[in-house]
Structure 1
Amino acid sequence: MCEDLSPARSNIPASESPPGSPPHAGFRSAQPQGVTVATAGPILSGWPRQIAWSEFRDLERRPSGESENAQVAVELRPSRILIERENGQLKLGNVTFRMDINRSDSWVVAGQKSTALLAHEQGHYNIVGLCYRDLVAELQRLRASSQSQLAREVRRIMGQYDRLADTLSAEYDSSQETDHGRNPGRQKAWETQIQNCMQTGTGLSKPA
C-alpha cells in the first residue's frame, strides 16, 4: 500500500498575502521572491530510482487493521520557491520538488520481506512518481496574471495530481488488479504499463 504524503497535505496552503507582502505560492514554509531572470523552472528529483527495504521500518507483525505486509509512504518537498515574470505574466522559477520515502510511515513485516513484495512497493513509488512527473511538467507551463492567481493554480494542480495518485494506487492494490501484489499476472501487467509510461512520457492509466 502507498500512503501519499504530498505537499498539498503536508504543507498547508497559505492564505493570500496582503498587498506588498511576499506570496507563498501555495506553501506554508517557502518564501518566494520575484525575479526577472528566466530559469528552467520547477524540476523533480528523487525519482526515478530503486527503493530498498532499508528505507522501511521493520515490524514484528502487521499493524492492527492491516491486511498486507508492507506500506510505503511517499512525500514531496519543495525547495525555496521563486516567482519570475515572463512577457507580463508570472510563473514559478527555480524550485526543486524532492520526492522520497517517509521512513516513519513506511513499514514491512520483517519476516515477510521478499523480492516480489519489494517490487510491488516499487510499483507504488513509481505510480506516485509518474503523477508527480506530470505535476511538475504542468507547473513548468503554468502562467498567471497575479501572485494570488499563481498560488491558487499551484494548489489546484497539486490537489489534482494528489487525487490521481491516490486513485491509481488504490486501483493498483484492488482485488481486481494486483490484490496487493498477490496476483502475479496483474502485477506484471502494471509493471509493464508503468515502465512504458516512464519511457514514453505518457500519463499512467490502468493496464488493459
Structure 2
Amino acid sequence: MCDNPSPARNNRPVPPGPSPDIAHAGFGSAQPQGAAASPGQPGPTLIGWPRQLTWSDFRDIQNRPRGESEDARISMGFRPGRVRVVEEASEHRLGEMEFEMVLNAAGSWAVVSAKTAELLAHEQGHFDIVGLCYRDLVAEARTLRGRSRNRLLLAMREHDQRADSLTREYDTQTEHGRNQANQQAWQRQIAACRQSGMQLTAPPLNAAE
C-alpha cells in the first residue's frame, strides 16, 4: 500500500495465496455492496467490504507496543485476484476478476483495558474509508480502457494513495477518535457515501456543531 502508513492502520498489500493471518468474516448488507458487476457487463468486483468490525477482529494485548500512542490498530490489505485482460477493438479492459479487501489479524490489535464502543467505531472508520476508496477503484477499473496493460493497471494506484491521504486526515481531524464532534462528522460522511455511492471526501467539520 504505502511506505509510511497512517499511525492507526498498517494498510499494506497482502501477497496472493491463503494466509492464516487473514480473517474471513462475513460482511454486512449496506448499499452499495462494493462495486458489483451489472447484468451482462462482466468485470471486476470487490469482496470483503462492507462489513462490521467486532473486537474479535483484533488481537488482545495488555499494553501498547513501544512507540505507540493509540490503544488499537486495524491492519488491512488489498488482494487482487487473477488478472484477466480482455482486448476489444485494439484496446484492453479488465475482464471478470475479484478484488478482495482483507484484514491482517496479526497486525490488528487492541489494548484489552481500553476497548470501548467509541474506539471500535473509530477503527471502523479507518476500515470504511479504505473500503470506500477500494470500491471506487473497482468501479473505475470496470470502465478503464487502454492500449497498454501497464497503463491500465497503473491508473488505479491513485485510489490507493487517496485512501492513505484520507485516513491520515481522519486521524488528524478526529485526534484518533478523541474529538467526538469531528468523529461523528466523519461517521456521518462515511455513511452518506456508502449509501449514495459518492466519492468520499473529508466532511465539513462545522456539520457537527
Q: TM-score, normalised by structure 2?
A: 0.79
Structure 2 CA distance, aligned partners of 1:96 and 1:5? Answer: 18
CA shift for structure 1 position 196? 0.6
Alignment partner, residue 202 of structure 2 = 206
Structure 2 CA distance, aligned partners of 1:153 and 1:105? Answer: 31
CA shift for structure 1 position 132? 0.5
CA shift for structure 1 position 39? 5.3
Secondary structure of the residue that 2:53 maps to in structure 1?
coil
Residues 1-208 of structure 1 correspond to what in structure 2 (within 5 A)?
A: 1-6=8-13, 40-145=42-147, 149-158=148-157, 160-174=158-172, 177-208=173-204
Residues 123-148 of structure 1: CA deviation (Å, up to 9, x unaligned): 00000001001111111111112xxx
Report if aligned partners of 2:75, 2:104 keep a CA contact under 8 Å in 1. yes
Amino acid at match of 1:191: Q
- Structure 1 stretch 117-126 or stretch 50-59: which is displaced more? 50-59
Amino acid at match of 1:123: G
Structure 1 CA distance, aligned partners of 2:169 and 2:95? Answer: 34
Which structure 2 segments of 5+ residues have no match?
1-7, 17-39, 205-209
Residues 32-68 of structure 1: CA deviation (Å, up to 9, x unaligned): xxxxxx8511110111110111111111111111101
CA shift for structure 1 position 71? 0.5
Equivalenced residue count is: 174
Amino acid at match of 1:3: N
Alignment partner, residue 16 of structure 1 = none
Give 4+ residue runs of structure 1 displaced > 6 Å after superposition: none
Provide the alpha-carbon RMSD of the alignment: 1.6
CA shift for structure 1 position 173? 0.5
CA shift for structure 1 position 189? 0.2
Secondary structure of the residue that 2:49 maps to in structure 1?
coil
Structure 2 CA distance, aligned partners of 1:201 and 1:6? Answer: 25
Secondary structure of the residue that 2:130 maps to in structure 1?
helix
Amino acid at match of 1:152: R
Amino acid at match of 2:85: I
Alignment partner, residue 26 of structure 1 = none
Report if aligned partners of 2:70, 2:176 keep a CA contact under 8 Å in 1. yes
Secondary structure of the residue that 2:64 maps to in structure 1?
coil
Which structure 1 segments of 5+ residues have no match?
12-37
Structure 2 CA distance, aligned partners of 1:197 and 1:76? Answer: 20
Report if aligned partners of 2:82, 2:97 keep a CA contact under 8 Å in 1. yes
Alignment partner, residue 22 of structure 2 = none
CA shift for structure 1 position 79? 1.4
